[in-house]
Amino acid sequence: MFFCALSGEPPQEPVVSVKSGKVYERRLILKYITENGTDPITGDKLEESDLVVIKASPETSAPRTPSQTSIPALLRTLQDEWDALVLETFALKQQYNSTRQELSYALYNQDAANRVVARLIRERDAAREALGNVQASMGIAPSAATEDVEMNDENAAPAMPEDIVAQIDETHLALSSARKKRKPPPGYASAAEIKSYTAKHTIPSLHSSSPSGITSLAVSNASPSQFLTGGNDKIVQLYDRDTDKVLASLKGHTKKINHVAFREREGEPTLLLSGGADKIAKIWSHDSSSGEYIPKHTIRAHKGEITGLTIHPRSTLLTLASADKTYSLHDLSTLTQVFQSTPAEDAFSSLGVHPDGTLLALGTPGSKIHIYDIRTGAFAAILDPPEDAAPFTVNSLSFSENGYHLLAPSSLSTVAVWDLRKRKTAHTIDLGESFKVNKVAYDTSAQFLGVAGSQGARVFAHKSWEELSRLEEGGEISDFVFGVQGREIWGATGREVRIWGSAPAE
């Protein structure tokens, strides 16, 4: 008597596969072929034409014991369910055998690894004993250290110089003590004024047309008519809006510029800073004798592209984040590196510095935000995205001026305002499915926040979350900043820089 290789029962219509030679119930193997197209035993491609009908004597086995024969339709349904159950049981058996095999391989590999580790430990101990014998024979005192030097160096946490920590603490005390009393300065833009902002000036044809596009923008606080741009053409450009002239065209990067910034400190020369996809950051200094900006220093501390560049509130420290999973601090007075973190689990895609100067926020391509204590490099907190959010890259971060909130994308088309005191989102702003976030920023008074992206930029009130303005001229905005006292909003779109503000009085 034959038995079906799938159900294990005598088949009513036996057929044999020319690929495996196994006998099957005809209806079961046809269902399996329809779903998988292969022989269930060998895995070879199998078609209905590869099945050979077996003519046995008697032609069929004894009929199954009928139940509820008075209800033919119900019997047919039960038969179909039984067929499905048989096929599923067979698939589970195959998965079970495959899992057992994988587990066997894993156990074998683990055992082999343990044997190798044990052998290496024995060899290490033997080498230490031999070294000790040699030292004893030569009259040299053996070293007290018994641990591996390489492992100590690898696991040791990098340390920040004490003088830099003292500077950061001093800055923190000075800024945090005055924060609660700080109010927007006289003449600062109001919500009503921002609602009336319109495009009032455009600077076209900046940077090369191939490859075109401005990737980053910074506006000078000391000379509000001057601004700095970085482009896909690998050039950093300093421009004066009042004279409509390029003041400096700085070359030195070999790939696109990701970030630019001014370092302006009273009593010291202005520095122009940039970080690019070529893994380096460059510093240019203003030469008072020639009146031009000249190269001063190149930072090659990272193995991945520079994804974040920020001036510390102290104004003497530069902070960089990189796709190599590390961040670093550099002293702008001595042009030396003072700290570099150990590699994290995730690459870093954006960077923000707390206004008191004690915390760093680092975005990741894995939707998370890491918070570090800048003085020790210790991991302070992690801000996770909503559980139902699709994966996205945290490509921009901005702390509020009062230090209580952090603005960051919470998906491709939404931004979240994080309350750092509770480590929870205080509010989420939905910009619409077609909006792609490129940049988020608070103004210096923490009254307003802005979001730039694929459909221009939008400005919101901080506490009421009211949308105050939509800046959609020019299409997609890659970067934007609030001007001095919020009186203007600057945006980079294509090869243009657009400026929005109140219309001049007639």
pLDDT in tens, 221-231: 988 899 999 99
Q: Which of 457, 350, 356, 332 is nearest to 393 (CA)?
A: 350
Where do the structural domains in the chain lie, given as residue ranges? 193-501
pLDDT at 152 over 50: no
Residue-level pLDDT at 474: 81
pLDDT at 155 over 50: no
pLDDT at 255 over 90: yes
pLDDT in tens, 90-100: 888 888 988 88
Q: What is the pLDDT averaged over residues 249-253?
A: 93
DSSP labels for 272-327? EEEEETTS-EEEEEEETTTTEEEEEEEE---SS-EEEEEE-TTSSEEEEEETTS-E
pLDDT at 485 over 80: yes
CA distance 334 to 268: 13
Residue-level pLDDT at 150: 42
Residue-level pLDDT at 506: 45
Residue-level pLDDT at 9: 85
CA distance 443 to 477: 17
Q: What is the pLDDT averaged over residues 269-297?
A: 90
Q: pLDDT-based confidence at 380, cuts 50/70/90?
A: confident
Residue-level pLDDT at 1: 67
pLDDT in tens, 17-53: 998 899 999 999 899 888 888 888 888 888 889 899 9
pLDDT at 391 over 60: yes
CA distance 116 to 275: 45
pLDDT at 178 over 80: no
CA distance 232 to 395: 17
pLDDT in tens, 349-371: 999 999 988 999 999 999 999 99
Residue-level pLDDT at 70: 58
CB atoms within 10 A of CB 498: 23
Q: Which of 252, 255, 204, 248 is nearest to 232 (CA)?
A: 255
| Total-model pTM | 0.68
Q: pLDDT-based confidence at 387, cuts 50/70/90?
A: confident
- Burial bucket for residue 383 (CB in 10 Å: 0-12, 13-18, 19+): buried
Q: Which residues contact 170 (CB under 8 A, 6 or more apart)?
A: none
Q: What is the mean pLDDT of the chain?
A: 86
8-state DSSP, 430: E
| Class (C level, CATH) for 193-501 | mainly beta
CB atoms within 10 A of CB 333: 10
Residue-level pLDDT at 151: 40
